[in-house]
Amino acid sequence: MLRMTWGRLRRQRGRTLAVLAGILTAVTGFVVLTGSVSTQQARLTSFVQANSVGAYDILVRPAGSESEPERNSDLVRGNFLAGQYGGIGLAQWHRIQQLTGVRTAAPVAMLGYVPIGMTADVDVTAQVDPSLQQQLIKVSRSWLTDRGLTKIDDPGADYVYVTRNPVIWPTFVGTQDGSVFLNSSIEYIYQGRKVHIPADSCGTEPAPGGQGTVGVLVGTGVPVEALPDGTFRPICAAIGNTAVTATDRFSVANRSDFLVAHLGADGGFTIDHPFPGQQPVSSKRLDVLVNWNVMVQLAAIDPTAEDALVGLDSATERGSALADAMKPALGQSSAGVRGGASATVPVVLSDDSGLDEQLASTSGRIEGDLSGVYEQTAAAATAYAGASEASGAGHTTLDVQSVYASTVRQQPLVKYSGSYDQDSSAMVATLNPRYVAQEPTYHANADGSLSAVDLGAPNQNTWNIATYGESADVPAYVTDDAFRSVSVKGDTPGVSNAVEGVAVGTFNPAELKQFSSLSAVAMETFQSTSAAGADAASRQSLGGRSLTGNSSPGSYVATPPQLLTTMDALPYILDTGDPSTTAPISEIQVKVADVTGVDQRSRNRVAAVAAEIRKDTGLQVDIVAGSSPSPVTVRLPAGNHGRPALTLAELWSREGVAVALISAVDRKSLFLFVLVLIVCILFVGNAVSSSVRSRRNELAVLACLGWRSRRIALLVLGEVLLVALAAGVAGGVLARPLGAALGLHVGLVRAALAIPVALSVALAAAVKPAIGAGRTHPGAGLTPDVVAARRRRGGNVSGIRTLAWTAAGRTRWRTAAAVLALTLGIGATALLVCIEAAFHTAASQSLLADAVGVKVRGADVVAAVLTLTLAIAATADVLYLGIVERLGELASLRAAGWRDADIRRLVLWEGALISALGAVFGGLLGLAGTRLLLGEVPAAVYPALVVLGPLGFAATGAACLAPARLAARAPIARTLSEC
């Protein structure tokens, strides 16, 4: 039998080589592909492990603080910390610290926004005309934010009155305490003699206590100009606004500032800021100091815990880091910690403002009557607000970070002593009163996105806090629509302490310990959330950058805290009536001991600690170990200062991503192995079945000669196994160099698996055809395969297309086999696409999942191409044998006058029918398999099927070209004689 088998294989070299090539392709592809998946699985597991360690493992928040979008999607909202003020008690924090397994428990207490005074230098020297005796320079201001999309024209302006006339600067006299004059009075000295300037020269104001009026210049000085006619006139516009009210905070007058500069004969300028203890400053350049005060976030931390998490101490740039030993201090007149006391608390200042703000200024000379400078500020500002500027205006644009960095560099630092009198000289900001802004609210849209609710512009009374007595300290951005409701804390007289934040050092957030961006947890203590454009229009509007916050506490994106103080400072800052007093902590970031990633042991430790925290405290507990930033689509309505509506991809933290990824990789590998094996068996089974059909006469003769069914079956099976053995050996030899060429490691053991895999596939595919061959009755095998003629209803067949489809119907079992092959091929490929979609669904479209998806997509493409190629090859084989069996019929048509082109068209139309049916049924099979596998059909499957269907149709049609050519070129006479 062995000699007969070998002889048969030799005589049918074409068929043998076709089966050999099919098994070889299937087995080699299987070995290399499974090797790829195994290698990939190990690499991805290692990759996920390496990118699943974040700054902390568990996030503890106040009970009930989880929003609905978070609850529905296992998310932790980006920027949540800025809207959470208190909710966790100090005792709860200490209980968490003492739990077994807790390595670090770092609390953060958000306290609100406080203003910091800054000034920006605008050089207006070029706008001064040296030939003029008197002139007024106006500096108009526009404030930009939202990456330049929001532009707010300031109603006020900065004015510099420049005169060549002598200027008498006020001299403050009185009792001096350090650099401050107490009980001071004002004198004017000109050419060695006193000049009397009546106190009511610039008007009057209500006297203290409401009894009568007093002159505005009592205790307040303004420069006095000595005019050529010998008179002296106070430049009253320089007095500033001494009475700021909430109702006119954004008026032209209250947003304007007037300075006076004397232009000397040498071309230099002398400018004065008339405060006690300060002297006029001389310079060759005329710089206008524009008030640019920003709102910064204040938070209290535990310095030791924060250093353990992110290395806060090592990020110190100047001065010293915060330390638990730095205790707040009360002033000498303070009776206790709470209630109207004066206190200092240590703070460290971030080098990074975290703000998106720009100042665009236009400076020019005003022409016309300048007598308004002798009026009070309100009248002067109104008079010149709409005045036109002379030609040659200068334009300057400054970014907030440069001004902020300069302010931080110049900020005096102290070696904190805990003494109010010694430390207050390094005050960076007053910490009461403070603005607090709640978290935004959202509407859920039908497409799964969120729409942030626009609350409109806050009431002007909200900004009734004046820093250093200047109304211009309120940033212009607060006039834009808010997404967070804003209120004031710490503004109750007799209850709120006057707390000064004393700078002990500065830190650089970029120098903190860095973790993988693929598994970043919310670190809003030091960095802002990312909110980039989610569509092309928004990305273009934002210039490809992320939306960032500004000095408005109500803006959508909140800045990270720029001021950090200690937990010991909380009793000094919070009011006795503030609910946050008893539970001041906003969140606790917990690092669990001995956690190395998302391996089972580490997951168990984190879960056990989280359960203990939940049980012990009743707080909201989120396991963020193994989480990853996930884009959430948020829609912002247009602002009222030019910003268009934006669609943002805001990064929220999705929990459990790393574990889901590892599980998905395991399931994906299993499905991939099974599908490739199924298609291999399908291909070999089709090849063997076709071979048996082509040898039916030969096998029938053997049966007539006395061969038993078992022997015939073994003959067929032996041929297939012999070919499979050769294919397995060749596949094992080819697998290693092919794997090396693809950058994959295929070991000797895996390469050797090609032989048993080939034999197993061949055995599974050939058993049924072999048994069928043995059971075939000899008479049936020797009888020609004739299909009974059927009368077609409705008339004769007309046209090649109709005849082709009729012929396919006559040989319906062969047609069904070809359709089945293509159906399974397209269906299996569609199922591969579904596995890919399921993988990303399980991974939940996070940054970590996207990174992994890029790494696994290559193997999926190879698997899909291999699967579809084998299916199309099996279909082409069935069609080829069908044409061989019908060569006599086709030769008869040619003898009757059909042209070669007609025969080709007939075969191609038959192939088109099979292709169309296979594509449709394959798509339906893919959908059914997807629903069975996943319980749903992901949206990604439909476009994949739209591509797969036409692709399978076109590829199968192309596979029909060879049979069509055979049918059209076979010799007519010899073909008819052999039938």
Strands (E) across 8-133 are located at 58-61, 75-76, 102-116, 119-123
- Please say whether the beta carbons of 550 and 356 come within 8 A: yes
**pLDDT higher than 80, residue 817:** no
pLDDT at 469: 38
Q: What share of the chain is helix, strand, coil (3-state, %, to 5)?
A: 45, 20, 35
pLDDT confidence tier of residue 333, bands split at 50, 70 and 90: low
Identity of residue 680: C
Give the C-alpha separation, 615 to 911, whole Å.
Answer: 68
- Please say whether the beta carbons of 758 and 58 come within 8 A: no
- Mean of per-residue pLDDT scores for the chain: 79
**pLDDT higher than 50, residue 779:** yes
Chain-centroid distance, C-alpha 463: 33
pLDDT at 108: 95
Instruction: Record the tokens describing residue 893, joined without a space.
Output: 């048509």
Neighbours of 573 (CB within 10 A): 29
Chain-centroid distance, C-alpha 20: 51
Give the C-alpha separation, 40 to 856, whole Å.
Answer: 7
**Which are the contacts of 200, defined by CB distance < 8 A and separation ≥ 6?**
215, 216, 217
For the segment 279-299, the average pLDDT, to the nearest whole number, is: 91
pLDDT in tens, 290-328: 999 899 999 999 999 999 999 999 999 999 999 989 999
pLDDT in tens, 677-687: 676 676 666 66
Give the C-alpha separation, 298 to 586, whole Å.
Answer: 12
Give the C-alpha separation, 107 to 825, whole Å.
Answer: 57
**pLDDT higher than 50, residue 244:** no
- Please say whether the beta carbons of 678 and 863 come within 8 A: no
What percent of the chain has pLDDT above 70? 73
Closest by CA position to 92, among listed 107, 80, 81, 82: 107
What percent of the chain has pLDDT above 90? 32
Identify which has the larger pLDDT, 200 or 955: 200
| Direct distance between the N- and C-terminal alpha carbons of the chain, in angstroms, rounded to an integer | 29
Choose the weakest-confidence range: 165-169, 229-233, 402-406, 675-679. 675-679
Cα–Cα–Cα angle for 70, 72, 78, rounded to 5 degrees: 15
pLDDT in tens, 510-525: 898 877 666 666 667 7
pLDDT confidence tier of residue 550, bands split at 50, 70 and 90: very high
Closest by CA position to 255, among listed 390, 179, 407, 143: 143
pLDDT in tens, 655-671: 776 666 666 665 665 56
- Please say whether the beta carbons of 223 and 169 come within 8 A: yes
What pTM value is reported for the model?
0.74
Which residue(s) pair with 298 in the sheet?
112, 563
**Which are the contacts of 219, defined by CB distance < 8 A and separation ≥ 6?**
184, 185, 186
pLDDT in tens, 617-666: 999 998 888 777 788 899 999 999 999 999 999 888 777 766 666 666 65
Choose the weakest-confidence range: 515-524, 568-577, 589-598. 515-524
Which residue(s) pair with 534 in the sheet?
none
Give the C-alpha separation, 957 to 909, whole Å.
Answer: 9
Task: For residue 441, give the 3-state DSSP assignment.
Answer: coil
Say if residue 323 is exposed, middle or buried (CB neighbours under 10 Å; 0-12, 13-18, 19+): middle
pLDDT in tens, 894-916: 777 777 777 777 777 877 787 78
- Please say whether the beta carbons of 420 and 329 come within 8 A: yes
